[in-house]
Structure 1
């Protein structure tokens, strides 16, 4: 039977996910069979497993840090906000419906508890250690009755809790004391230590505050983790986009439209990691400028995000730049927006029956009730985007979409899908416009493929009169190094002897 430890926070975005990831890698380095678990996640940044199930991206990173293939058991409930206080509810990787916050919290959430218990039981039989992550704060008294992710899970496992606070935002001591004060006595007893996260400065100046905190709460401070810049580890939700600053003036600039319902924005992290590329997220009110490439990303609500582009004039700006020679790529929802029209006859996403697209591709997309989710393999053969005369087999990525795109005229596919969810397939994906300046695809993660990514960047370089670099970065190897680097920093920052003692006391 696995031992467990749980990370809960004084609020959202305090760093629970990254500390959980670090502990998964530390236990993995120490020779334990470790697995991450988060009962319920709310995020638009999702992933598709080998079996076609959808789960939160943070648990994918945690699984990789633990040396495991991601599985929906690690995140049995995923909520994907769609707008107007509603979310698509995904259980064990499959959507079960779209519900309002009230419908979910007052009706469905407790029904999901049986599935959560089953997943925990299965993981407990197969692993040595479970690192459990909570969500938000356990002290949200308005949500506590129907909580299925914080203290109810800690009691269910049972798991000792480390309470994480973000000192960078200020008020960390008050948030720790206040959180503990709002917990019931038995819940407070489950908290075995405090973690101060995102600290900048001289630790000696903080020591009096740490001593006060221990005396006030009766809980040991397990450690103080320094503020860490981006480490190439996938982010959980679009809140983290606010931390992604422009990487300075580099030779190639890519503008990604920051849609209100942007999803799977990790599609562009590998591009941003290239030394000659700046990835700039265009926020509301900002000009697109004169980038070398414009990317329309995925969206959880394509129609609403297309309306956003239209209301702020970005649709016309994109069309105008494309007309004067700026290349444009659309991925998933962004691909759908580039067409002539989007239809939603079953009102899958909105109350609208149809909406006019940007019109850069001769396509129509029709939404269906059933979501397509697959890991895919694909080939690229002289697709023609940016004039690429490029061939490669075995590209990897994944599909998550409810739309089906139809072509009004014969097209050049962007890719040829050769496998879906481990089964052979033979179907074209996406489209490249005849002039090679506009491409749409349903494949998320396509730029994570090292050689293809570099081929696209080098084609952009040639368009600017720059020499191609031809060398490429190994994204997966760099990610593994990032997990090790994270683990080293956190191992030095936490009292790991105390953490192992807390684990051993179960």
Structure 2
């Protein structure tokens, strides 16, 4: 019989994902068979499993921390916002349609709970410890009757809940007391402890507040977790973008601008680049910033056509033309790669009312959207791929594709190819470059996670600036492992883990 612990929060971005990740690593270090779980995730950061299913990126990171392979059962319901108060609904890794918020919450959500229960049954067969993450707040009265990710899961499993509040943003005590007050008695009984997260300063000064919480709520405060600086673990959704740099750091040798599209997806593609010691990676919507950067990236998008129109409305298309004309390299990933082409066609109106629109015209490719979404892990390779005066070489560049469109590339240009699919024999073009090396793009998410390829890209920019290239000294995989362990060490030192274990065993 599996043991459960559930992390719920007083609101969004209070640290539920990161604390779930911490517990996954702690229990993994104790030799347990651990599985993360989040019934429903709303995020544009997603991941493709080995069997071609789509799930939330945060749960993939939690699976890494737990030392296990990401499986779609860890996140059976994924909502990807498309705009106009609607989302693409993905059940068990496969899209089932796009629904308005009203249609989903008032009609479909409770049907989707069947998938949640089935996923939990699968997990119980293999894991002895399940760390469950909630979403938002369990006390959202307007959503509570149809909420399938917070207390409905806790009640279904009779799982003990730890309630987390973010003290860094202020109002943590009121949020904890208010959340508990709005819960039903049965739900309140499932909350077995409180956690104060992101605390800065002398914890002894917090003692009166902790005593107040115990007296007011009858719940023990099991830990005060300090604010963890520079935590480089994949984040869940676009709320985290608020914490990203918005301008270059002058002390770094290389600056890379990522255009902050309204429907930006999978910004975790750039985590490894941002972690390079000589790179300042920042997010911007300002045309002037593109002209001062050493390189510009157009990232993925959940709505490529809408974001392309947004670029044009804000004059960023003209800024990109000026940047490339000035010799500033331009890179496109997934939706950004599609935008770099000559034309985007949408005959089935999968994304927009437009049947066709012009691309930015940097690359000789044309994209046509179709009804089927491609989700597959791939292994990419490139040879003599020109970039910034150098030639990129790469083999065994593992990653994944998540996109609606199919792109045709003109012959005679340098391409990136990949094998993928269940047979591992299907070869396809997944990227191309302009012969002058100033523009390239790819469908492959995670391409910058590869140390030698990423360093070759950065070194191309260094040489262009008259700087000497650097050797590959930074291992992204090793760095992630260190971060998981650092997170686990910090949480273990500030959370009463023995009390947590007793709660999981049903002893208190």
Bin for the TM-score computed over the shorter chain: over 0.9
* 1:117-196 correspondence runs (5 A): 117-196=117-196
Cα-Cα RMSD: 1.3
Structure 1 moving runs of 4+ over 6 Å: none
1:247 Cα shift? 6.6
1:286 Cα shift? 6.4
Q: Which residue of 1 aligns with 2:115?
A: 115
Question: Structure 1 stretches of 5 or more lacking a match?
Answer: none
Cα contact 2:387–2:439 (8 A) shared by 1: yes
Paired with 2:105 and 2:89, the residues of 1 have a C-alpha distance of 11
TM-score by length of 1: 0.97
* 1:71-470 correspondence runs (5 A): 71-245=71-245, 248-249=249-250, 250-283=252-285, 287-407=289-409, 409-421=410-422, 423-470=424-471
Cα contact 1:264–1:298 (8 A) shared by 2: yes
Question: Is structure 2 residue 477 aligned with structure 1 residue 498?
Answer: no
Cα contact 1:193–1:219 (8 A) shared by 2: yes
Q: Give secondary structure in 2 for the equivalent of 1:383.
A: strand
Paired with 1:230 and 1:56, the residues of 2 have a C-alpha distance of 22
Paired with 2:70 and 2:278, the residues of 1 have a C-alpha distance of 32
Paired with 1:286 and 1:146, the residues of 2 have a C-alpha distance of 45
1:33 Cα shift? 1.0
Cα contact 1:375–1:421 (8 A) shared by 2: no
* Number of equivalenced pairs: 505
Paired with 1:230 and 1:353, the residues of 2 have a C-alpha distance of 44
Paired with 2:113 and 2:3, the residues of 1 have a C-alpha distance of 20
1:67-110 deviation line (CA, Å, top 9, x unaligned): 01100000000000000000000111110000000111111111
Cα contact 2:232–2:480 (8 A) shared by 1: yes
Paired with 2:441 and 2:392, the residues of 1 have a C-alpha distance of 17
Paired with 2:213 and 2:230, the residues of 1 have a C-alpha distance of 29
1:428 Cα shift? 2.1
1:467-487 deviation line (CA, Å, top 9, x unaligned): 111223110111011000000
Cα contact 1:455–1:470 (8 A) shared by 2: no
1:418 Cα shift? 2.8
Paired with 1:286 and 1:229, the residues of 2 have a C-alpha distance of 30
1:339 Cα shift? 1.4
Cα contact 2:389–2:464 (8 A) shared by 1: no
Q: Which residue of 1 aligns with 2:56?
A: 56
Q: Give secondary structure in 2 for the equivalent of 1:473.
A: coil
Paired with 2:446 and 2:421, the residues of 1 have a C-alpha distance of 15
1:2-34 deviation line (CA, Å, top 9, x unaligned): 010100000011000000000000111111111
Q: Give secondary structure in 1 for the equivalent of 2:174.
A: helix
1:29-62 deviation line (CA, Å, top 9, x unaligned): 1111111000000000001111110000110111
Paired with 2:147 and 2:466, the residues of 1 have a C-alpha distance of 58
Change (3 A) 1:208 1:285: farther
Q: Give secondary structure in 2 for the equivalent of 1:222.
A: strand
Cα contact 1:413–1:429 (8 A) shared by 2: no
1:422 Cα shift? 6.1
Paired with 1:448 and 1:126, the residues of 2 have a C-alpha distance of 30
Paired with 1:284 and 1:348, the residues of 2 have a C-alpha distance of 29
1:390 Cα shift? 4.0
Paired with 1:503 and 1:247, the residues of 2 have a C-alpha distance of 46
Q: Give secondary structure in 1 for the equivalent of 2:290.
A: coil
Cα contact 2:257–2:289 (8 A) shared by 1: no
Paired with 1:247 and 1:286, the residues of 2 have a C-alpha distance of 12
Q: Give secondary structure in 2 for the equivalent of 1:430.
A: strand
Cα contact 2:392–2:457 (8 A) shared by 1: no
Paired with 1:136 and 1:449, the residues of 2 have a C-alpha distance of 33
Question: Structure 2 stretches of 5 or more lacking a match?
Answer: none
Cα contact 1:50–1:422 (8 A) shared by 2: no
Q: Which residue of 1 aligns with 2:483?
A: 482
Cα contact 1:413–1:428 (8 A) shared by 2: no
1:323 Cα shift? 1.6
1:140 Cα shift? 0.6
1:411 Cα shift? 4.0
1:421 Cα shift? 4.7
1:354 Cα shift? 1.9
Cα contact 1:411–1:432 (8 A) shared by 2: no
1:266 Cα shift? 0.8
